[in-house]
Amino acid sequence: MTLHRPHDAREIAEIVRHAGAENHTLEIVAGGSKRAFGRPVRAAQQLNLSKLAGLVSYEPRELVLTARPGAPLADIDEALRAEGQMLAFEPPQWLNLLGGAGTPTLGGVLACNLSGPRRLRAGAARDFILGFSAVNGRGEMFKAGGKVVKNVTGFDLSKLMVGSFGALAILTEVTLKVAPRPETQCTLLLPGLSDAKAFDVMARALNTPHEISAAAHLPELSARRAHLAAEGPLTALRLEGPAPSVAYRAAETEKLFGGGVRLEAEASALFWREVAEVRALLPDGAPLVWRACPTPSRAAAIVAAVREKLPGAEAFYEWGGGLVWLSLDPAEAGPDCGAAVVRGALDGQGHATLVVAPETARASVEVFQPVEPALAALEARVKAGFDPLGLFNPGRMREGV
């Protein structure tokens, strides 16, 4: 496979024009850490964005950062941390989950629209993009959005790019809103709750004025694998902010639910890193992992329905029940990796994505939630508008797209 490592947008545009003229498809890669997420790309050449790294500009007083797609997340976090700021959507890295290869980058996180535990309070990755520069499938450089919120007008192409898995355009610069980093945090652990009771507790907590920034439920097996090595299920509620405020809100939350165990500061941060990175809470080497997004009130029933047909299934819950992680036994799941069972349990009310599976399975199974014909036709038209020759990441999301 021919490998391209361009240094700037003009080089990318030239490579794309040449690929179009020669009818060569392109796999778009930044750090390579998310290559195992989605369907395998069968492309003639690879366009690697690792040379397009670094910060372009950072204005801490304006809470705005512009960076290139190959910028490692670790470098961005270091720059933000020095100014007491952060990416509010708490991007997970998923290194161990997806096999440990590559370097997590800003481009990879945005291409996959990955958000961590704070998503239920702060919003998703796509909610923080203000503007971008990119190259389309015709080899044309273009821009959308701006560097301040008031300049972001018209159809929001920025949000369209986030979560498109590199199938529409090649990002060359991205401008994001950033946020102040909380002074401290603590997590209230409520042990021993059933799934159904835990969802009631999380819903009540999220509806209080105490500004819970993350809520998760770990059934017994997942809780035992966490660094806390708990002996039963754990329901976790995180509070962040100035130390006096966190202390007061934690005390009020404890009163509401009759006590609990507190994790302070670093212990709390470690716990939520485990939740965000997923792998430590699943069986060792789990070969089939699904990520389902149901209505939170139905999450426990969905897992129960999956277990009726696949008794070896394990699960834990993020986002107050709005995100369910499922690990399946391949011997039970069958050739479709459990797709019919998992999506059947959702019953059209939510969506499910196959995150971890062998490459051969990801090539044959619908990795992403199937869409209705009208929506599929719309997807195809959008793809044709940006990438008329179908050069970028062919088949990454769906066959023929």
Give one DSSP letter per residue of 342-373, joined into a string: HHHHHTTSEEEEEEE--HHHHHHS--SPP--H
* Cβ density class 315-337: b for 16+ within 10 Å, e for less: bbbbbbbbbbbbbbbbeebeeeb
Task: Name the nearest CA neighbour of 166 among 139, 192, 137.
Answer: 137
Q: Is 180 left (phi over 0), alpha (psi -120 to 50) or beta?
A: beta
What angle, rounded to 10 degrees, do the helices at 243-257 and 195-206 form?
130
Q: Which amino acid is at 285?
A: G
Placement of tokens 């062998």 in the chain: 358
Domains 2-180 and 282-364 share a fold: no
- Mean pLDDT, residues 257-280 taken together: 94
How far, in Å, CA of 134 to CA of 109, rounded? 16
Contact criterion met (CB below 8 Å) for 283 and 327: yes
Q: Could you report the per-residue pLDDT of 282-318, keeping only the tens digit for each?
A: 888 889 999 999 999 999 999 999 999 999 999 999 9
40 contacts: CB under 8 Å, gap ≥ 6: 359, 362, 363, 395
Q: Could you report the per-residue pLDDT of 87-98, keeping only the tens digit for each?
A: 999 999 999 999
Tokens describing residue 59: 């204005």
Range in 110-114, 127-131, 395-399 with the lowest mean pLDDT: 395-399
Residue 259, pLDDT above cutoff 90: no
Residue 220, pLDDT above cutoff 60: yes
Q: Could you report the per-residue pLDDT of 138-159, keeping only the tens digit for each?
A: 999 999 987 765 544 555 889 9
pLDDT reported for residue 155: 57
Kind plus residue range of the DSSP H or E element containing 250: helix 243-257
CATH of region 184-279, choose from 3.40.1190.20, 3.30.70.2190, 3.30.70.20, 3.30.70.240 = 3.30.70.2190
pLDDT reported for residue 149: 56
Quick check: helix, strand or coil at residue 192? coil
CA torsion 380→49→85→203, rounded to 10°?
A: 40
pLDDT reported for residue 329: 96
pLDDT band at 230 (very low <50, low <70, confident <90, very high): confident
Q: Could you report the per-residue pLDDT of 29-77, keeping only the tens digit for each?
A: 999 999 999 999 999 999 999 999 999 999 999 999 999 999 999 999 9
How far, in Å, CA of 335 to CA of 319, rounded? 30
pLDDT reported for residue 283: 85
pLDDT reported for residue 38: 96
Q: Which regions of 204-357 does DSSP assign to beta strands (E)?
A: 212-218, 234-241, 261-264, 288-294, 314-318, 323-328, 350-356
Q: Which regions of 219-260 does DSSP assign to beta strands (E)?
A: 234-241
| Residues of the chain above pLDDT 70, percent | 98
How far, in Å, CA of 177 to CA of 136, rounded? 24
Residue 21, pLDDT above cutoff 80: yes
What class is the 2-180 domain? alpha beta
pLDDT reported for residue 228: 85
CATH of region 282-364, choose from 3.30.565.10, 3.30.70.260, 3.40.50.20, 3.40.50.300 = 3.30.70.260
pLDDT band at 238 (very low <50, low <70, confident <90, very high): very high
Q: Where are the domains of the chain?
A: 2-180, 184-279, 282-364
Tokens describing residue 237: 């509620």
